[in-house]
Amino acid sequence: MNRVLVVGSLNADLVVRTDRFPAAGETVAGADLVVGPGGKGANQAVAMARLGGDVAMVGAVGTDGHGTLVRDAVAAAGVDVSRVAVRRGPATGTAVITVDAAADNTIVVSPGANATLAAADLPSFDGVAVLTLSLESPLGTVLAAATAARAAGTTVLLNLSPFGPVPDGLLESTDVLVVNEHEAALLGEHPVGRTVVTRGAQGCVVTEHGVRTPVDALAVEPVDTTGSGDAFLAAVAVRLAAGDTLPDAARYAVRVGAYAVTVDGAQLPAVTADAGERFGLVAGRS
């Protein structure tokens, strides 16, 4: 029982590189538009498969070309997409991303078909070791998934991104919470006993029932930070499903996150032999 189930978003990423971000009301020149697969849920599912995980995904796309692009990309990575619905009417979710010369990014997301994902779309959680959730899906669906997974004995891994109001009961149904420092500060006190607070180039801090374990990051030259948080979360999920402790899972995840920022795009590419050796990673599917 080491399957990971992702209930989350699938988006088409529209990416433009520019030297710097524009100020309010300003226009700046950018490079060519690049359209690729993305969405926090899809990014996480692809990364899990490429790290050797047994992964299935629940989500929704439209009937447009973006939907075909994203769903096919997730399937090609080795993810079970049989529960990714194709909706008639709404467009596939879209993320408009700007990346500057320092590899930082800004992202605006239009949810599209992701907003139609409902509790009725959820499968049974029997045989699922870990469920991962983020907040790009409807909050009611996220809560329903967490509640049902907790009742089935599945470990619920929640990422509060993009940060917003948290439904009553969601944190109570969460086993492991993954947030960045900004999200942690906004959230404040919470009832989750096991947390990972990511700190970018400073690594992360794991807390289990009051015991803090700092985990250092690897020093790398970043190329594109888009999707690095999703790759980190994916690595934590895969290693928890394999039986690792949370600190050990986080130690692996910081190496995956370091690899993710050295390559372009929101979805983790296949782990080459060189990358596997440099970052200490296990290759999954190509």
Kindly list the catalytic residues.
230
Residue type, 284: G
Q: Are 116 and 139 in contact (CB under 8 A)?
A: no
Residue 204, helix vs strand vs coil: strand
Residue type, 19: D
- Report the chain's terminal Cα–Cα distance, integer Å: 23
Q: Which token pair is 61?
A: 């796309």
**Cα pseudo-dihedral 157, 60, 45, 151, rounded to 10:** 30
Q: Measured between alpha carbons, how far is 135 from 162 in angstroms, rounded to an integer?
A: 6
Q: What is the CA radius of gyration of the chain?
A: 18
- Beta-carbon contacts of residue 264 (< 8 Å; ≥ 6 apart): 223, 224
Q: Which helix (H) or strand (E) holds 140?
A: helix 139-151
Q: Are 268 and 251 in contact (CB under 8 A)?
A: no
